Amino acid sequence: MIKTRNNISIENNNSTMSDLVFLLLVFFMMTSTLISPNAVKLLLPESGSKTMAKQNVTVYIDQDFQFQVNDTPAAADQLQPLIAAGIEPGVTDACVVLRSDKTVPVQYVVNVIDAVNAINDQTGSKHKVILATSPKK
């Protein structure tokens, strides 16, 4: 009987595969924390309501009382044309989401509401302003 010296091993070494999976896991965990959902960091007022709406335009007011319509910085007198430009033509009931820092005086919030009301008066539409809040703790 002739015996061969070359025995073929059918075992599979998975240590490199587990290293690769671990590195991918670390990579995705690190990159996912770098993504910020909101362009402007705000401390939103707290509320217990859970009203959700489809947002057409987002207006930000930061703690320095600076306006931003979607991604465009704006002065108070530029709010109306920028909000109107952000609403798709033919939409008569758009939602303007107002994300205001909780330290902002009410007058700045009223400026946004006045701009939306002026658009409604000019176009005969029924756009509304919704104040974004964070959940109560």
Question: How far is the C-alpha of 51 from the C-alpha of 116, rounded, in Å?
Answer: 20
Band of residue 70 on the pLDDT scale cut at 50, 70, 90 = confident
pLDDT at 40 over 60: no
Q: Are 99 and 55 in contact (CB under 8 A)?
A: no
pTM, two decimals, is: 0.61
**What's the mean per-residue pLDDT of the chain?**
80
Q: Are 59 and 80 in contact (CB under 8 A)?
A: no
Shortest CA distance to 87 belongs to which of 42, 129, 50? Answer: 129
pLDDT at 35 over 60: no
Of residues 35 and 114, the one with the higher pLDDT is: 114
Give residue 1's pLDDT.
Answer: 63
| Residue pLDDT, tens place only, 82-104 | 888 888 888 888 888 888 888 88
Q: Are 67 and 9 in contact (CB under 8 A)?
A: no
Torsion of CA 39, 41, 47, 51, to 10 degrees: 0
Q: Are 59 and 97 in contact (CB under 8 A)?
A: yes
- Residue 16, judged by CB atoms within 10 A of its CB (0-12, 13-18, 19+), counts as exposed
